[in-house]
Amino acid sequence: MKPWRLAWNGLLALVAVNSLALSLRAEVPRALAAALQNLREQRSYSWEIINADPGPVAQSTETRRGRVTMVQQNLAPHVIASLASNGDMLLKRDWPDGGQLDTLVTADGQIVTGTPEGWLTNQEVLTAMADERVNTNTPSTRYQWLRRADRPDTRRPAEELAAAVRAAGEFEVSGDTYVARIRIGDNARESSGLSALAVTLTVTVRAGVVRDYQLTVQGSRSLARAGVEVPLSDDRFVIFTYLPVRKLDVPDEAWAKVRPTKSAPAR
């Protein structure tokens, strides 16, 4: 059986949509609301995204057809990102298998990603993927990194956290820590292919700013053919550093892609 993983991008989109559908929202504690507003107003900061242990983790379960072994593997990348004071953003991603990609997002929305074949725009990545599908019958190493370079998630943590807070139930407060269960509607959960899903949000606020937050997932997926429920779990931990970033560590080749008529920022 192929490894099955819970896709974080899909889950967080589910949380965002679910938050908009909720008419009854729990009141956000005043200190947390102020810290979220502070985060939204920050012009420059850095963050790191740490995901659960990549595994793989094997689980054996008895079914009516005998013992079945399932493998879970977290394939989400580790991310170190910076937002410069002029609005440009750099995402440095690395995967458990050793893959690494850097993505530059300019303040006006242009995106280029550093790949083994140089810095490519989103359109160049899509074109290369199409060529790879036509010219090869089996997935190649090139196609793997092209898929990872294709339209990366460029949302800032402030957007992700705001959506999670909107979808959260009542917060429990313990010192600097705020904990809440994120409410996921049955229709949304079922449409994601999950038979059970519980998401917990934990936010740490110190000195009036969000220091970190964590999304913890516990759920299960029903495998009809095997007649078994597969337990799933995942974690996403985001840490903030509030030091102004004046310049991003990006080569001239990347700036030439997004600003063909301008020179790279002064170093």
pLDDT tens figures, 149-181: 998 989 899 988 998 898 888 999 999 999 998
- Max avg pLDDT among 48-62, 65-79, 110-124, 184-198: 110-124
* 84-111 confidence digits (pLDDT tens): 999 999 999 999 888 999 999 999 999 9
Q: If you search the block for the tokens 């080569």, which residue do you land on?
A: 251
SS3 state of residue 157: helix
* Largest pairwise CA distance in the chain: 66
234 against 82, higher pLDDT: 82
| Residue 176 confidence (pLDDT) | 95
Q: How far apart are CA 157 and CA 134, in angstroms?
A: 37
What percent of the chain is predicted at pLDDT more than 70? Answer: 70
Output the pLDDT for position 68.
67
Q: Supply the pLDDT for residue 2.
A: 41
Of residues 242 and 66, more confidence is placed in 242
Nearest to 79 by CA among 43, 49, 113: 49
pLDDT greater than 90 at residue 203: yes
In the chain, the percentage of residues whose pLDDT exceeds 90 is 48
Q: Would the pLDDT of 193 be above 70? A: no
Asked which of 121-125, 135-139, 158-162 is least confident by mean pLDDT, the reply is 135-139
pLDDT digits (tens, 9 = 90+) for 12-61: 555 555 554 444 456 899 999 999 999 999 999 999 999 876 666 666 66
- What pLDDT does 53 receive? 67
- Domain extents for the chain? 8-258
Note the pLDDT of residue 112.
Answer: 96
Tokens of 255: 């700036």
Identify the DSSP state of 261: T
For CA atoms 186, 188, 191, 192, give the dihedral sign. negative
Average pLDDT, the chain: 81
pLDDT of 102: 97
Could you tell me which residue, 9 or 187, shows the higher pLDDT? 187
Closest listed residue to residue 189, CA positions, set 230, 226, 219: 219
| Separation between Cα atoms, residue 61 and residue 89, nearest integer Å | 45
Q: Return the residue matching tokens 């939204």.
A: 40
pLDDT value at 141 more than 60: yes
Level-2 CATH architecture, domain 8-258: Clam (2.50)
Which pLDDT belongs to residue 34?
A: 96
